[in-house]
């Protein structure tokens, strides 16, 4: 595909989501959605994230059904290692009492990890396949078929994840602290009623910075890595050696970003459970 498009068009093609929206004329796709307003759906992000979420559920359900008290197989050992790793992290970081935090941490870690792993697949393979399906199945020009296969390179998804964590933070803050949460925002860091407006500004900025940084950190790292893979693919026949070199380095980034997202989620929820 790189040889069929100009460099700019090739980069833009890979950085464009498959979009679906509703207009006055019915359902529209891709470029027709540019002026559609707020309700535009990135169907590739939705499809891949849901599919990978179902893959996570099926893998762990299969492990649970096959688990026995005898000598575990390699598959069961691997799943148990992941669960013990997440459970140990939660126990050492989370200081409240909640049956939700450990399963949530496990879900976030494995789900984000699976979405990040999609970045290892050579950049042209799945978009080319989608283009062929669009051409032979629906008569659409392959250059007008878009597909981003790494959901975490879509800011909409990373913000959706972080806003979910933010909603839990607010919920548990009010549940555990009650009115004390409002006092916490209004009477810190200056414990005097005259400074309530100043305290609110400082504390609300800090509060809203948490989901913002959570979303942008994951998005920025994966988006930058995806862009490097795209630039490598533009080299042509010599791209594979460079692709594997960058992929080998990126293998360190993929679990690290999943771990950071999980770890910050645990820390934020632990702070929400602290009464003092």
Whether 203 is in a domain gets the answer yes
In tens, the pLDDT along 113-169 reads: 999 999 999 888 899 999 999 889 888 888 889 999 999 999 999 999 999 999 999
Whether 112 is in a domain gets the answer yes
| Residue 221 is a catalytic residue | yes
Name the DSSP class of 26: E
Whether 136 is in a domain gets the answer no
Alpha-carbon Rg for the chain, nearest whole angstrom, is 22
Nearest to 117, CA basis, from 245, 253, 11: 253
Give residue 225's pLDDT. 93
Name the DSSP class of 25: T
**Count of structural domains, the chain:** 1
* Euclidean distance between CA atoms 166 and 163, whole angstroms: 5
In which domain, by residue range, is 263 found? 44-123+150-273
| Residue 61 is a catalytic residue | no
Least-confidence region, from 36-50, 200-214, 216-230: 36-50
For residues 188 and 266, which has the higher predicted lDDT (pLDDT)? 266
Q: Which of 156, 188, 217, 270 is catalytic?
A: 217
Whether 115 is in a domain gets the answer yes
Give residue 4's pLDDT. 64
The pair of structure tokens assigned to 45 is 């992000």
Residues 217-231 have a mean pLDDT of 94
| Residue 217 is a catalytic residue | yes
Q: Which of 116, 162, 173, 221 is catalytic?
A: 221
Looking at the chain, list the stretches that DSSP marks H as alpha helix, in order from N- to C-terminal side. Answer: 7-14, 43-66, 74-93, 101-117, 125-138, 155-177, 179-186, 196-233, 239-273
* Euclidean distance between CA atoms 84 and 93, whole angstroms: 14
* pLDDT at 61 > cutoff 60: yes
Q: Which of 7, 62, 191, 213 is catalytic?
A: 213
* Euclidean distance between CA atoms 62 and 67, whole angstroms: 9
């Amino acid at each position: 595909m790189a040889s069929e498009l100009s460099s700019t068009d090739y980069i833009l093609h890979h950085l464009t989501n498959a979009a679906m929206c509703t207009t006055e004329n019915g359902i529209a796709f891709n470029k027709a959605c540019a002026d559609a307003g707020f309700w535009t759906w990135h169907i590739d992000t939705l499809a891949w994230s849901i599919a990978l979420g179902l893959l996570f559920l099926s893998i762990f359900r299969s492990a649970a059904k096959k688990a026995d008290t005898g000598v575990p197989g390699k598959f069961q050992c691997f799943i148990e290692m992941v669960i013990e790793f997440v459970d140990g992290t939660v126990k050492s970081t989370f200081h409240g009492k909640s049956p939700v935090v450990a399963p949530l941490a496990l879900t976030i870690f494995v789900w984000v990890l699976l979405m990040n792993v999609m970045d290892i697949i050579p950049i042209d393979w799945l978009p080319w396949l989608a283009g062929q399906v669009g051409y032979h199945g629906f008569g659409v020009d392959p250059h007008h078929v878009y597909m981003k296969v790494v959901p975490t390179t879509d800011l909409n998804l990373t913000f959706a994840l972080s806003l979910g964590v933010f909603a839990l933070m607010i919920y548990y803050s009010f549940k555990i602290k009650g009115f004390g949460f409002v006092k916490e925002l209004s009477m810190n860091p200056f414990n005097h009623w005259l400074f309530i407006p100043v305290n609110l500004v400082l504390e609300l900025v800090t509060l809203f910075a948490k989901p913002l940084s959570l979303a942008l950190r994951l998005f920025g790292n994966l988006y930058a890595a995806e862009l490097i893979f795209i630039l490598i693919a533009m080299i042509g026949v010599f791209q594979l050696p460079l692709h594997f070199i960058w992929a080998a380095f990126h293998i360190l980034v993929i679990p690290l970003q999943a771990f950071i997202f999980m770890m910050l989620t645990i820390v934020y929820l632990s702070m929400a459970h602290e009464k003092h």
